[in-house]
């Protein structure tokens, strides 16, 4: 018996680089990564594993995996099987790690977690935290073993989460001891350098310790990291902390506030909301200054309709452009007139005619939901709600509306803010209205940021065109002077030092008011931008209102209460109360149709309160809420595309671009449609084939249907191939439709025909009935024209197989009749054509009815049934009268004469001759050739050779014009027979030789073939 | 081949999208009849217009239009007189 070896302590560390310690001394691990990975896997899972499983995990390849496993186990045993303990337990099928008292770090921390961190002593927490030397199995990234790698990554994430939980618990327990919490806070930052909450915590702790210098360093470090790694600025919360830091001493004071409520500098006194005078960043205080501009406004209103139609107000942001336009509205109202206001939207939103729709919406409120139908129908509708059939009518409708409104209350002012964001459709409409409404008491007033106009080509073109035509008066607003600024600021903030405000703001009214508010609220630091002042002001709001403003800021400069309620999930009454308070703070302004931010800079400030990840989530929520809600006009689709793009939801953004683009087409906003198509295609690029291909087809359709000259056939061909590969037959057919539109526009009829044949083939998977109908139509077309007869025959056979021979499809019956006629089966042809005639009459298809009657008449003529011919002819004349311009009346006349010929009447030739000019004038060469060939046959039978020759020659000439091969053959046969009668066999052979084989595709009709055979027999017999 | 004119009257005025749809519907019917579109002209108010084709004859174009269910007012063959100088053609 072997004496037992002394027990030795074994410790296995997997948190960080794998280590095995024997009696506290690190042992040399096998160099093989797979061997170390096997150790980590067996120890971490702690249960028996099948050898096959281990082989799949780490040795899945051409080499002998079992040998690899055996080798690794051989290397691990000496390391782990110590002191008589068998820790690597293996048999033929299974392998397991048995701890036998070995200390394993992951097991220890997991056990602590399972027993509950809240109950664990602080020492145990600290000990557990200390075990985390690094990520689980650090350095063992076996990318060649995907299954192991996936497992390892999952374990790392779970253990990191545990590490975070331990640190957070320790920090919580260290409440009141900021120094103790510093280490864990820094450890949290090390785990996720980009996460914001640990950084805020660190700032709070350092602030609590009074160590302003290190706090500022921590802030700077994080701000640099954000800019470098994500390209974003620090969030509002971080900025707030930083501002509070500026009031701290540089050295720590040892103060120890409670965790979770770090004591910042006392909150500044919140300023009372200014008195409401219609609110607004620049308004609400009465109109100040701008005497020269106000005089101009008055003059323009007095001569509205006689002078320039457009007032353009230019200036930098915050200079008072919108306020001046509001004053214009007030002056118009004072003169008994009216003002309508609208605003253009940021370029990303692509809302064609957005400013006009905005302005007119206020004038045309939607009827109440429960309104009686007749009231709803009678309620005035904006022209953009029920668009016209073309752009001209739309423009006319808007002009009439405005002229009418001006007629009721003059002058009418249409205010259009932010011209630098005008879309092309709006620019063209404004140009049209400025010209069309000259003479009406209407004044258009637009504002624009001069520097940003250069980025908008349509707006630039508009301004230049208006200038050339003498339709615009421009005014550029400069800064207020000291006296004016004193009056502006003093009205709402009488106690602030207005000289300081003037110095800081340089006369910019918005800046001045924000600075005054800040000073009034106790802030001393006015250094920095207007944006910073606004951010500070927003920081003084209650949390709930600040949060609400973030949502509103994401929605845009203007928003509807309903939409805001939908995206936030807040109840409308609660929402309205908050919005009213925000209005009292001059952050929002109410309008007839919703709310506006007092200024776009205020909106931007509200938006930037959120960190980037939060912004993405908010946009995602908005996109989902808008796309799920009602949108009868499709006006929200562009907004959905915008928010989905910002949320990173490419699929939703691409789909919304399709809807928004289709709306632009309906409103004749071609450029906007194409812009959305381009955007949508970029979003669609990242999607899977199954999602991307259908979207790309619809996005290209926006280009095709907006008549863009771009080369689109190549991408369409590629899409057809993709659609076919995906088995999307209906989509493939749609692509061929778009291609045939392009090809036909380009005059390429052959390509268009190929595309349409491809469309028939593409319908093969659309469903048997649909495919059969396509095939029957194509068959009818080919057989009617005697061209591509073999193709027509194939299509017919396939159509019959799919639809059934007796199907009640008109095209099928017609194609069957044509085919039977070509084959010479007159009885069957007549049966089929009777069926087709019945279907045509039932479906009230007049052209089809005419064609059926015509063919039935020819059939009955060939069968010698003159009475039936006359009956068909009479019916044909009746229907032809209702058809409009056609050759059927002339054809009916010719047939009537031919029917009379059947009876042997010589006079009928005169009647027949009299019918020919009408056929000739109608340019109906095929009918001419058919009719004259029949007449030639009759004449031949009656030995009226000269008459027969004349008819045959004219028939040949007419048939050659339209390449009617059967009539060519018939005419040649007649002329050859006449040649034989004149004992000129060579001439006869020469005529027959003109029937060269390559001239015929699919053979002659039975009738024509019989005519040729007859004269060939004559030739053979006689010569 | 003949030079053929197709004339239209539209009341109410036709939309550009409808024109595009008719173009597509006509494509197979004209191409199989060896009818080539040369040019189309529509009034700004979209109430009238005409198309110019090269085709075997007027009836062929009429049949193509009827087959495609595209409305027209009249179809007629024409002689073209082009007064542009050769270098401008």
- pLDDT tens string A925-934: 999 999 999 9
Which of B14, B38, B59 has its CB closest to that of A922?
B59
Interchain CB distance below 8 Å, B15 and A390: yes
The shortest CB-CB distance from A923 to any of B33, B66, B76 is to B76
Q: Judge whether A456 is closer than 8 Å to chain B, CB to CB.
A: no
Residues A178, A256: contact at Cβ < 8 Å?
A: yes
Q: Do A707 and B2 touch (CB under 8 A)?
A: no
Taking alpha carbons only, the member of A548, A558, A697 closest to residue A639 is A558
Taking only the tens place, the pLDDT of each residue in A800-842 is 888 888 888 999 999 999 999 999 999 999 999 999 999 999 8
β-bridge partners, B54: B3, B36
Q: Name the residue among B12, B35, B44 with its Cβ closest to that of A749.
A: B35
With an 8 Å Cβ cutoff, is A941 touching chain B? no
Taking CA–CA distances from B62, the nearest residue in chain A reads A886
Q: Which residues of B fall within a CB distance of 8 Å from A884? A: 73
pLDDT digits (tens, 9 = 90+) for A734-747: 787 677 666 655 55
Give CA separation, A784 vs A422, A839, A851, B55, in Å: 54, 18, 10, 17
Q: Assign A50 to helix, strand or coil.
A: strand
Please report the pLDDT score of residue A377 as a whole number.
Answer: 44
**Would the CB atoms of A741 and B62 count as touching at under 8 Å?**
no
Predicted confidence (pLDDT) at residue A106 exceeds the cutoff of 90: yes
Give A232-249 pLDDT, tens digit per residue: 777 777 877 776 676 555
Distances (CA, A) of A470 to A309, A414, A441, A579: 9, 19, 17, 43
Q: What is the pLDDT of residues A561-582, one digit of tens each?
A: 888 888 888 887 888 888 988 8
When pLDDT is averaged across residues B58-82 and rounded to a whole number, the result is 90
How sure is the predictor about A363, in pLDDT bands with cuts at 50, 70 and 90? low
Euclidean distance between CA atoms A44 and A40, whole angstroms: 6
Would you say A351 and A633 are in contact if contact means Cβ atoms under 8 Å apart? no
- Put simply, the answer to whether B56 touches A962 (Cβ < 8 Å) is yes
- The reply to whether A750 touches chain B by the CB within 8 Å rule is yes
What residue in B sits closest to A756 (Cα-Cα)? B28
Range scoring the smallest mean pLDDT among A53-57, A343-347, A370-374, A442-446: A370-374
> Given this model, what pLDDT does residue A954 score?
96
The whole-angstrom separation of Cα A167 and Cα A186 is 10
Q: Which residue of B has its CA nearest to A392?
A: B45
| ipTM computed for the complex | 0.80
* A923: nearest CB among B20, B26, B57: B57
At A784, the pLDDT band (50, 70, 90 cuts) reads: confident
Smallest CA–CA distance from A752 into chain B, residue: B27
Q: Which of A35, A47, A5 is nearest to A22 (CA)?
A: A5
Closest to B20 (Cβ–Cβ): which among A705, A747, A886? A705
Question: Is residue A840 within 8 Å of A828, Cβ to Cβ?
Answer: no
Q: Which segment of A192-206, A356-370, A929-943 scores lowest on mean pLDDT?
A: A356-370
B38 contacts A749? CB cut-off 8 A: no
The predicted structure's pLDDT at residue A107: 94
Across the interface, whether the CB atoms of B59 and A705 are under 8 A apart is answered no
Contact B16 A390 (CB under 8 A): yes
Chain B partners of A747 at a C-beta cutoff of 8 Å? 36-38
- Kindly tell me the burial class for residue A838, based on how many C-beta atoms sit within 10 Å of its own C-beta (0-12, 13-18, 19 or more): middle
Higher-confidence position of A142 and A662? A662
The pLDDT of residue A567: 85
- pLDDT bin (cut points 50, 70, 90) of residue A482 is confident
Quick: pLDDT tens for A506-540.
888 888 888 888 888 777 666 556 667 787 788 77
Comparing CB atoms, the residue among A749, A886, A962 nearest residue B36 is A749
Residue position matching structure tokens 């390449």 = A963
Q: Report the candidate in A601, A598, A590, A606 with the shortest Cα–Cα distance to residue A555.
A: A606
CA-CA distance, A956 to A975, in Å (whole number)?
A: 9
Contact between B31 and A737 using a beta-carbon 8 Å cutoff: no
> Do A533 and A511 meet the contact criterion of CB atoms below 8 Å apart?
yes
Give the position of tokens 């009230």: A844
Of the residues A386, A387, A388, A389, the best mutation for testing chain B's interface (the one with the most B CB atoms within 10 Å of its CB) is A389
In the predicted model, is pLDDT for residue A195 greater than 90? no
Q: List b or e across A807-817, with b for residues whose CB sees 16 or more CB atoms inside 10 angstroms.
A: bebbbbbbbbb
Domains and CATH numbers, chain B: 2-78 (3.30.70.3090)
Note every long-range contact of A867-876, with CB atoms under 8 Å and residues 24 or more positions apart, other chains counting: A869/A895, A869/A896, A869/A898, A869/A899, A869/A902, A870/A896, A870/A899, A873/A899, A876/A850
Query: What pLDDT is stored for residue A246 in this prediction?
Result: 62
Q: Is the pTM of this model over 0.90?
A: no
Sequence length of chain A is 1023
Report whether pLDDT(A393) > 90. Answer: no
Q: Which residues have C-beta within 8 Å of that of residue A506, sequence separation ≥ 6?
A: A479
User: Does the beta carbon of B27 lie under 8 angstroms from any beta carbon of chain A?
Assistant: yes
CA distance B4 to chain A (A): 10
Q: Has residue B77 got a pLDDT over 80? A: yes
Residue that has been written with the tokens 């019945």 in this structure? A838
- From the list A343, A353, A444, the residue with the least C-alpha distance to A671 is A353
Q: What's the pLDDT band for A270 if we cut at 50, 70, 90?
A: very low
Looking at the DSSP assignment, which residues form a beta bridge with residue A22?
A10, A25
Regarding beta strands A338-343 and A310-314, do their DSSP bridges make them parallel or antiparallel, or are they unpaired? unpaired
pLDDT of residue B7 exceeding 70, the answer is: yes
pLDDT of residue A276: 32
pLDDT of residue A154 exceeding 90: no
Q: To probe the interface with B, which of A752, A775, A886 has the most B CB atoms within 10 Å?
A: A752
How distant is the Cα of A922 from the closest Cα of chain B, in angstroms? 7
For residue A591, report the phi and psi dihedrals to the nearest 5 degrees: -130, 175
Contact (CB<8Å) B31/A756: yes
Q: How far apart are CA B40 and CA B19, in angstroms?
A: 11
Mean pLDDT of chain A: 82
Query: Measured between alpha carbons, how far is A102 from A85 in angstroms, rounded to an integer?
Result: 10
* pLDDT one-digit tens code per residue, B23-40: 877 877 887 788 888 889
Summarised one tens digit per residue, pLDDT across range A643-690 is: 888 888 889 999 999 988 888 877 767 778 888 888 888 888 888 888
Please report which helix (H) or strand (E) contains residue A591, including its range. strand A588-591
Q: Do A1008 and A969 contact (CB within 8 A), yes or no? A: yes
- A737: nearest CB among B24, B29, B30: B24
């Amino acid at each position: 018996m072997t004496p037992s070896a002394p027990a030795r302590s074994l410790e296995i560390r997997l948190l960080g680089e794998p280590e095995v310690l024997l009696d506290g001394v690190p042992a040399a691990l096998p160099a093989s990564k797979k061997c170390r990975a096997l150790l980590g896997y067996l120890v971490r899972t702690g249960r028996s594993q099948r050898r096959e499983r281990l082989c799949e995990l780490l040795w899945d390849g051409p080499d002998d995996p079992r040998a690899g496993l055996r080798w690794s186990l051989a290397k691990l045993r000496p390391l782990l099987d110590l002191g008589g303990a068998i820790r690597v337990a293996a048999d033929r099928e299974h392998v397991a790690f048995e701890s036998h008292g070995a200390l394993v770090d992951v097991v220890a921390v997991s056990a602590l977690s399972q027993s509950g961190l809240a109950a664990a002593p602080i020492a145990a927490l600290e000990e557990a935290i200390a075990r985390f030397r690094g990520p689980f199995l650090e350095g063992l990234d076996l990318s060649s073993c995907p299954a192991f790698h996936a497992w390892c990554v999952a374990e790392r994430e779970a253990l990191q989460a545990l590490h975070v939980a331990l640190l957070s618990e320790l920090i919580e327990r260290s409440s009141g001891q900021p120094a103790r919490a510093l280490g864990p806070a820094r450890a949290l930052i090390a785990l996720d350098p980009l996460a914001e909450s640990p950084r805020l915590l660190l700032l709070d702790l350092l602030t609590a310790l009074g160590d302003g210098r290190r706090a500022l360093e921590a802030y700077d470090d994080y701000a640099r990291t954000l800019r470098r790694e994500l390209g974003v600025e620090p969030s509002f919360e971080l900025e707030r902390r930083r501002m509070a830091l500026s009031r701290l001493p540089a050295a720590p004071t040892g103060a120890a506030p409670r965790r979770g409520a770090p004591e910042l500098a006392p909150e500044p006194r919140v300023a009372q909301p200014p008195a409401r005078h219609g609110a607004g960043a620049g308004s609400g205080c009465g109109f100040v200054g701008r005497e020269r501009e106000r005089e101009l406004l008055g003059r323009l209103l007095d001569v509205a309709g006689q002078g320039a139609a457009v007032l353009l107000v230019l200036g930098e942001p915050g200079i008072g452009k919108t306020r001046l336009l509001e004053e214009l509205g007030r002056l118009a109202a004072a003169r008994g007139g009216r003002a309508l206001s609208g605003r253009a939207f940021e370029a990303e939103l692509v809302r064609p005619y957005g400013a006009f729709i905005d302005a007119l919406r206020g004038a045309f409120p939607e009827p109440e939901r429960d309104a009686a139908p007749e009231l709803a129908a009678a309620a005035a509708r904006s022209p953009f709600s029920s668009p016209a059939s073309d752009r001209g009518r739309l423009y006319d409708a808007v002009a009439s509306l405005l002229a009418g409104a001006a007629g009721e209350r003059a002058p009418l002012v249409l205010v259009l803010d932010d011209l630098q964001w005008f879309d092309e459709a709006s620019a063209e409409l404004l140009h049209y209205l400025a010209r069309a409404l000259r003479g009406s008491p209407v004044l258009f007033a637009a504002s624009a940021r001069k520097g940003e106009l250069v980025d908008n080509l349509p707006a630039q073109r508009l301004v230049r065109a208006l200038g050339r035509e003498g339709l615009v008066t421009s005014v550029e607003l400069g800064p207020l002077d000291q006296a004016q600024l004193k009056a502006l600021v003093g009205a709402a903030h009488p106690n602030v030092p207005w000289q300081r405000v003037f110095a800081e703001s340089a006369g910019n009214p918005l800046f001045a008011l924000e600075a005054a508010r800040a000073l009034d609220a106790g802030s001393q630091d006015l250094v920095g931008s207007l944006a910073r002042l606004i951010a500070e002001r927003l920081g003084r709001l209650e949390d709930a209102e600040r949060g609400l403003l973030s949502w509103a800021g994401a929605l845009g400069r203007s928003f509807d209460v309903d939409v805001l309620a939908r995206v936030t999930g807040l109840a409308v009454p609660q929402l309205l109360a908050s919005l009213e308070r925000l209005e009292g703070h001059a952050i929002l302004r109410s309008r007839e149709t919703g709310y506006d931010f007092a200024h776009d800079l205020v909106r931007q400030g509200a938006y930037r309160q959120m960190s980037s990840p939060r912004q993405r989530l908010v946009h995602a929520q908005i996109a989902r809420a808008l796309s799920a809600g009602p949108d009868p006009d499709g006006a929200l689709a562009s907004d959905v595309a915008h928010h989905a793009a910002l949320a990173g939801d490419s699929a939703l953004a691409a789909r919304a671009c399709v809807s928004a683009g289709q709306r632009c087409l309906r409103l004749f906003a071609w450029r906007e449609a194409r812009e959305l198509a381009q955007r949508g295609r970029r979003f669609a690029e990242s999607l899977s084939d199954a999602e991307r291909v259908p979207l790309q087809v619809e996005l290209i359709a926006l280009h095709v249907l907006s008549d863009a000259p771009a080369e689109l056939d190549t991408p369409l061909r590629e899409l057809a191939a993709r659609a076919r590969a995906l088995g999307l037959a209906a989509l493939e057919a749609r692509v061929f439709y778009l291609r045939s539109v392009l090809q036909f526009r380009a005059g390429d009829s052959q390509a268009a025909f190929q595309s349409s044949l491809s469309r028939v083939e593409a319908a093969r998977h659309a469903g048997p009935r649909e495919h059969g109908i396509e095939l029957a139509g194509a068959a009818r077309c080919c057989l009617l024209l005697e061209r591509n007869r073999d193709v027509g025959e194939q299509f017919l056979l396939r159509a019959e197989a799919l639809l059934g021979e007796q199907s009640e499809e008109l095209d099928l019956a017609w194609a069957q009749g044509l085919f039977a006629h070509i084959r010479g089966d007159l009885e069957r042809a007549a049966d089929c054509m009777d069926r087709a005639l019945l279907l045509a009459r039932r479906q009230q298809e007049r052209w089809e009815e005419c064609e059926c009657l015509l063919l039935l008449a020819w059939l009955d003529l060939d069968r010698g049934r003159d009475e039936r011919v006359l009956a068909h002819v009479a019916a044909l004349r009746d229907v032809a009268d209702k058809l409009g311009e056609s050759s059927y009346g002339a054809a009916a006349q010719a047939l009537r004469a031919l029917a009379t010929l059947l009876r042997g009447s010589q006079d009928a030739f005169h009647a027949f001759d009299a019918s020919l000019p009408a056929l000739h004038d109608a340019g109906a060469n095929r009918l001419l050739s058919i009719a004259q060939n029949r007449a030639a046959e009759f004449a031949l039978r009656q030995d009226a050779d000269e008459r027969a020759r004349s008819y045959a020659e004219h028939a040949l000439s007419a048939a050659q014009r339209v390449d009617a091969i059967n009539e060519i053959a018939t005419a040649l046969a007649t002329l050859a027979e006449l040649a034989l009668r004149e004992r000129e066999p060579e001439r006869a052979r020469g005529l027959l030789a003109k029937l060269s084989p390559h001239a015929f595709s699919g053979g002659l009709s039975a009738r024509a073939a019989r005519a040729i055979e007859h004269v060939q027999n004559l030739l053979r017999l006689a010569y | 081949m003949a030079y053929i004119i197709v004339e239209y009257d539209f009341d109410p005025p036709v939309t550009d999208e409808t024109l595009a749809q008719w173009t597509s519907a006509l494509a197979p019917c004209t191409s199989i009849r060896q009818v080539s579109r040369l040019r189309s002209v529509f009034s700004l108010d979209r109430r009238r217009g005409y198309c110019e084709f090269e085709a075997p004859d007027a009836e062929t174009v009429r049949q193509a239009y009827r087959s495609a269910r595209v409305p027209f007012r009249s179809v007629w063959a024409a002689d073209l007189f082009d007064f542009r100088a050769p270098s401008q053609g």
